[in-house]
Amino acid sequence: MLKTRIITAVILLAVLLLAIFSGSFIVFSILTAIFFAAAAWECLRLFGNKFPVVGAVLWTVAFAYLVVTASFKQSVLLYGICVAIWILRLVPSLAFGLPPLDGTRNRLLTGIYGIAVLGAFIAILSLYNRSALYMFSVMSIVWIADIGAYFSGKAFGKRKLAPSISPGKSWEGAIGGGILVLLASVATLAVPALNDTFAVQLYLTWGWPGFLLILILMVAASIVGDLFESQLKRRAGMKDSSSLLPGHGGVLDRLDALIPTLPLAVLVAYWM
Protein backbone atom coordinates (compact mmCIF):
# COMPACT_ATOMS: atom_id res chain seq x y z
CA MET A 1 0.00 0.00 0.00
CA LEU A 2 2.80 2.40 0.93
CA LYS A 3 4.64 1.61 -2.31
CA THR A 4 1.51 2.33 -4.36
CA ARG A 5 0.93 5.54 -2.45
CA ILE A 6 4.49 6.74 -3.11
CA ILE A 7 4.38 5.85 -6.82
CA THR A 8 1.09 7.72 -7.28
CA ALA A 9 2.44 10.76 -5.42
CA VAL A 10 5.61 10.82 -7.54
CA ILE A 11 3.64 10.60 -10.79
CA LEU A 12 1.23 13.36 -9.72
CA LEU A 13 4.10 15.58 -8.64
CA ALA A 14 5.91 15.01 -11.94
CA VAL A 15 2.80 15.89 -13.96
CA LEU A 16 2.20 19.00 -11.86
CA LEU A 17 5.79 20.19 -12.18
CA LEU A 18 5.77 19.62 -15.95
CA ALA A 19 2.61 21.73 -16.25
CA ILE A 20 4.08 24.50 -14.10
CA PHE A 21 7.51 24.59 -15.74
CA SER A 22 5.95 24.53 -19.19
CA GLY A 23 5.23 28.19 -18.50
CA SER A 24 1.92 27.80 -20.30
CA PHE A 25 -1.24 28.97 -18.57
CA ILE A 26 -3.25 26.91 -21.08
CA VAL A 27 -1.44 23.69 -20.15
CA PHE A 28 -1.91 24.34 -16.44
CA SER A 29 -5.59 25.19 -17.00
CA ILE A 30 -6.16 21.93 -18.89
CA LEU A 31 -4.57 19.94 -16.06
CA THR A 32 -6.70 21.81 -13.52
CA ALA A 33 -9.83 21.13 -15.60
CA ILE A 34 -9.07 17.39 -15.63
CA PHE A 35 -8.79 17.32 -11.86
CA PHE A 36 -11.91 19.44 -11.53
CA ALA A 37 -13.88 17.00 -13.72
CA ALA A 38 -12.75 14.13 -11.50
CA ALA A 39 -13.63 16.05 -8.34
CA ALA A 40 -17.09 16.95 -9.74
CA TRP A 41 -17.74 13.30 -10.58
CA GLU A 42 -16.72 12.21 -7.08
CA CYS A 43 -18.82 14.96 -5.52
CA LEU A 44 -21.95 13.87 -7.39
CA ARG A 45 -21.38 10.24 -6.39
CA LEU A 46 -21.10 11.24 -2.74
CA PHE A 47 -24.45 13.01 -3.05
CA GLY A 48 -26.08 9.95 -4.61
CA ASN A 49 -26.56 11.48 -8.06
CA LYS A 50 -27.73 8.85 -10.59
CA PHE A 51 -25.85 10.40 -13.51
CA PRO A 52 -22.53 11.62 -12.07
CA VAL A 53 -20.72 11.53 -15.43
CA VAL A 54 -23.30 13.78 -17.09
CA GLY A 55 -23.26 16.15 -14.14
CA ALA A 56 -19.46 16.26 -14.12
CA VAL A 57 -19.42 17.14 -17.83
CA LEU A 58 -21.86 20.03 -17.26
CA TRP A 59 -19.84 21.36 -14.31
CA THR A 60 -16.62 21.10 -16.34
CA VAL A 61 -18.21 23.04 -19.19
CA ALA A 62 -19.04 25.81 -16.68
CA PHE A 63 -15.44 25.69 -15.43
CA ALA A 64 -14.07 25.89 -18.98
CA TYR A 65 -16.35 28.83 -19.78
CA LEU A 66 -14.98 30.81 -16.84
CA VAL A 67 -11.43 30.03 -17.94
CA VAL A 68 -11.88 30.72 -21.66
CA THR A 69 -13.62 34.04 -20.99
CA ALA A 70 -10.97 34.88 -18.37
CA SER A 71 -13.82 35.42 -15.91
CA PHE A 72 -11.69 33.90 -13.15
CA LYS A 73 -9.75 37.18 -13.09
CA GLN A 74 -12.91 39.03 -12.05
CA SER A 75 -14.43 36.28 -9.87
CA VAL A 76 -14.34 38.13 -6.56
CA LEU A 77 -18.13 37.67 -6.31
CA LEU A 78 -17.76 33.90 -6.80
CA TYR A 79 -15.14 33.69 -4.04
CA GLY A 80 -17.35 35.75 -1.75
CA ILE A 81 -20.26 33.41 -2.45
CA CYS A 82 -18.04 30.41 -1.67
CA VAL A 83 -17.01 31.85 1.69
CA ALA A 84 -20.65 32.66 2.48
CA ILE A 85 -21.68 29.10 1.52
CA TRP A 86 -19.26 27.66 4.05
CA ILE A 87 -20.25 30.05 6.83
CA LEU A 88 -24.02 29.92 6.33
CA ARG A 89 -24.65 26.36 5.13
CA LEU A 90 -21.77 23.89 5.16
CA VAL A 91 -20.22 24.63 8.55
CA PRO A 92 -23.62 24.36 10.33
CA SER A 93 -24.11 20.92 8.76
CA LEU A 94 -21.21 19.65 10.86
CA ALA A 95 -23.37 20.27 13.93
CA PHE A 96 -26.85 19.57 12.55
CA GLY A 97 -26.11 16.80 10.06
CA LEU A 98 -26.84 16.26 6.37
CA PRO A 99 -30.25 15.73 4.75
CA PRO A 100 -31.23 12.25 3.48
CA LEU A 101 -29.76 11.28 0.11
CA ASP A 102 -33.17 11.05 -1.54
CA GLY A 103 -34.80 14.44 -1.32
CA THR A 104 -34.96 18.02 -2.53
CA ARG A 105 -32.75 19.30 0.28
CA ASN A 106 -29.98 16.95 -0.78
CA ARG A 107 -30.24 18.06 -4.41
CA LEU A 108 -30.05 21.67 -3.29
CA LEU A 109 -27.01 20.91 -1.15
CA THR A 110 -25.40 19.17 -4.13
CA GLY A 111 -25.55 22.40 -6.10
CA ILE A 112 -24.33 24.47 -3.16
CA TYR A 113 -21.28 22.27 -2.56
CA GLY A 114 -20.71 22.10 -6.31
CA ILE A 115 -20.36 25.89 -6.38
CA ALA A 116 -17.88 25.68 -3.51
CA VAL A 117 -15.79 23.12 -5.41
CA LEU A 118 -15.98 25.17 -8.61
CA GLY A 119 -14.86 28.29 -6.76
CA ALA A 120 -11.91 26.45 -5.23
CA PHE A 121 -10.61 25.25 -8.60
CA ILE A 122 -11.11 28.66 -10.19
CA ALA A 123 -9.16 30.08 -7.23
CA ILE A 124 -6.25 27.76 -8.10
CA LEU A 125 -6.01 29.44 -11.50
CA SER A 126 -6.30 32.89 -9.98
CA LEU A 127 -3.44 32.16 -7.57
CA TYR A 128 -1.33 30.55 -10.30
CA ASN A 129 -1.96 33.55 -12.54
CA ARG A 130 -0.08 35.62 -9.96
CA SER A 131 2.76 33.08 -9.67
CA ALA A 132 3.32 29.39 -9.03
CA LEU A 133 5.20 30.31 -5.85
CA TYR A 134 2.27 32.32 -4.55
CA MET A 135 -0.12 29.45 -5.30
CA PHE A 136 2.08 26.96 -3.47
CA SER A 137 2.49 29.36 -0.54
CA VAL A 138 -1.29 29.23 -0.01
CA MET A 139 -1.57 25.48 -0.48
CA SER A 140 1.38 24.85 1.83
CA ILE A 141 -0.57 26.39 4.72
CA VAL A 142 -3.10 23.57 4.40
CA TRP A 143 -0.45 20.90 3.90
CA ILE A 144 1.60 22.06 6.91
CA ALA A 145 -1.55 22.23 9.05
CA ASP A 146 -2.40 18.65 8.06
CA ILE A 147 1.12 17.40 8.88
CA GLY A 148 1.16 19.23 12.20
CA ALA A 149 -2.30 17.94 13.11
CA TYR A 150 -1.32 14.35 12.30
CA PHE A 151 1.79 14.26 14.48
CA SER A 152 0.32 16.38 17.29
CA GLY A 153 -2.77 14.20 17.34
CA LYS A 154 -0.66 11.05 17.49
CA ALA A 155 1.44 12.43 20.34
CA PHE A 156 -1.08 14.38 22.42
CA GLY A 157 -4.57 13.70 21.05
CA LYS A 158 -7.11 13.05 23.80
CA ARG A 159 -10.10 15.33 23.17
CA LYS A 160 -12.04 14.35 20.05
CA LEU A 161 -12.76 17.20 17.66
CA ALA A 162 -15.77 15.63 15.90
CA PRO A 163 -16.15 12.02 17.08
CA SER A 164 -19.31 11.30 15.12
CA ILE A 165 -17.74 12.50 11.85
CA SER A 166 -14.02 11.75 12.06
CA PRO A 167 -13.03 9.93 15.27
CA GLY A 168 -9.31 10.23 14.50
CA LYS A 169 -9.21 14.02 14.74
CA SER A 170 -8.53 15.76 18.04
CA TRP A 171 -8.41 19.30 19.39
CA GLU A 172 -4.76 18.79 20.27
CA GLY A 173 -4.05 17.85 16.66
CA ALA A 174 -5.86 20.93 15.34
CA ILE A 175 -3.97 23.20 17.73
CA GLY A 176 -0.66 21.54 16.84
CA GLY A 177 -1.36 22.04 13.15
CA GLY A 178 -2.11 25.71 13.73
CA ILE A 179 1.06 26.23 15.76
CA LEU A 180 3.20 24.59 13.05
CA VAL A 181 1.63 26.83 10.39
CA LEU A 182 2.39 29.94 12.43
CA LEU A 183 5.98 28.87 13.08
CA ALA A 184 6.61 28.02 9.42
CA SER A 185 4.99 31.27 8.29
CA VAL A 186 7.08 33.34 10.70
CA ALA A 187 10.19 31.61 9.32
CA THR A 188 9.33 32.76 5.79
CA LEU A 189 9.53 36.39 6.94
CA ALA A 190 13.31 36.00 7.22
CA VAL A 191 13.77 34.74 3.66
CA PRO A 192 13.93 37.57 1.06
CA ALA A 193 13.25 35.16 -1.81
CA LEU A 194 9.83 34.46 -0.28
CA ASN A 195 8.67 38.08 -0.15
CA ASP A 196 5.95 37.44 -2.72
CA THR A 197 4.24 34.70 -0.75
CA PHE A 198 0.89 34.75 0.98
CA ALA A 199 2.10 34.81 4.58
CA VAL A 200 4.75 37.47 4.01
CA GLN A 201 2.30 39.71 2.17
CA LEU A 202 -0.13 39.30 5.06
CA TYR A 203 2.48 40.58 7.47
CA LEU A 204 3.60 43.44 5.23
CA THR A 205 0.01 44.60 4.69
CA TRP A 206 -1.66 44.11 8.08
CA GLY A 207 1.15 43.45 10.54
CA TRP A 208 1.04 40.84 13.26
CA PRO A 209 -2.70 41.08 14.05
CA GLY A 210 -3.75 40.38 10.44
CA PHE A 211 -0.98 37.81 10.01
CA LEU A 212 -2.10 35.76 13.01
CA LEU A 213 -5.85 36.16 12.47
CA ILE A 214 -5.91 35.17 8.78
CA LEU A 215 -3.56 32.22 9.20
CA ILE A 216 -5.64 30.87 12.09
CA LEU A 217 -8.78 31.30 9.96
CA MET A 218 -7.07 29.43 7.10
CA VAL A 219 -6.19 26.53 9.39
CA ALA A 220 -9.75 26.43 10.76
CA ALA A 221 -11.17 26.48 7.21
CA SER A 222 -8.94 23.57 6.18
CA ILE A 223 -10.18 21.50 9.12
CA VAL A 224 -13.80 22.29 8.24
CA GLY A 225 -13.24 21.24 4.61
CA ASP A 226 -11.75 17.94 5.72
CA LEU A 227 -14.56 17.27 8.20
CA PHE A 228 -17.30 18.10 5.69
CA GLU A 229 -16.01 15.61 3.14
CA SER A 230 -15.68 12.99 5.89
CA GLN A 231 -19.32 13.67 6.73
CA LEU A 232 -20.31 13.17 3.09
CA LYS A 233 -18.41 9.88 2.88
CA ARG A 234 -19.88 8.61 6.13
CA ARG A 235 -23.42 9.35 4.90
CA ALA A 236 -22.74 7.69 1.54
CA GLY A 237 -21.07 4.68 3.17
CA MET A 238 -17.79 5.25 1.29
CA LYS A 239 -14.28 4.99 2.69
CA ASP A 240 -12.83 7.17 -0.09
CA SER A 241 -14.40 9.58 -2.56
CA SER A 242 -13.17 7.23 -5.33
CA SER A 243 -10.21 5.04 -6.27
CA LEU A 244 -8.88 7.31 -9.02
CA LEU A 245 -5.60 7.87 -7.17
CA PRO A 246 -4.23 4.46 -6.12
CA GLY A 247 -3.09 4.53 -2.51
CA HIS A 248 -4.65 7.93 -1.92
CA GLY A 249 -8.34 7.44 -2.68
CA GLY A 250 -9.93 10.15 -4.79
CA VAL A 251 -9.20 13.70 -5.86
CA LEU A 252 -11.51 15.11 -3.18
CA ASP A 253 -9.69 13.06 -0.55
CA ARG A 254 -6.52 14.98 -1.43
CA LEU A 255 -8.10 18.40 -1.93
CA ASP A 256 -10.99 18.54 0.55
CA ALA A 257 -9.16 20.83 2.98
CA LEU A 258 -8.31 23.23 0.15
CA ILE A 259 -11.90 23.73 -1.00
CA PRO A 260 -12.86 26.32 1.66
CA THR A 261 -9.36 27.81 2.04
CA LEU A 262 -8.51 28.74 -1.55
CA PRO A 263 -11.44 31.13 -2.21
CA LEU A 264 -10.80 32.70 1.20
CA ALA A 265 -7.12 33.19 0.33
CA VAL A 266 -7.96 34.85 -3.00
CA LEU A 267 -10.39 37.22 -1.28
CA VAL A 268 -7.75 38.15 1.27
CA ALA A 269 -5.20 38.64 -1.51
CA TYR A 270 -7.69 40.90 -3.31
CA TRP A 271 -8.03 43.06 -0.18
CA MET A 272 -4.24 43.21 0.12
**Confidence category of residue 15, pLDDT binned at 50, 70, 90:** confident
Average pLDDT over residues 222-238: 95
Long-range contacts of 236-242 (CB under 8 A, 24+ apart): 236/45, 236/46, 236/47, 236/48, 236/101, 238/45, 238/46, 241/42, 241/43, 241/45, 241/46, 242/38, 242/41, 242/42, 242/45
Q: Could you tell me the residue ranges of all domains in the chain?
A: 1-271
pTM: predicted TM-score of the whole model, two decimal places: 0.93
Average pLDDT over residues 171-195: 95
Cβ atoms 119, 81 nearer than 8 A: yes
Buried b / exposed e across 66-80, counting CB within 10 Å, b at 16+?
Answer: bbeeeebeebeebbb
Average pLDDT over residues 118-132: 93
pLDDT beyond 90 at 245: no
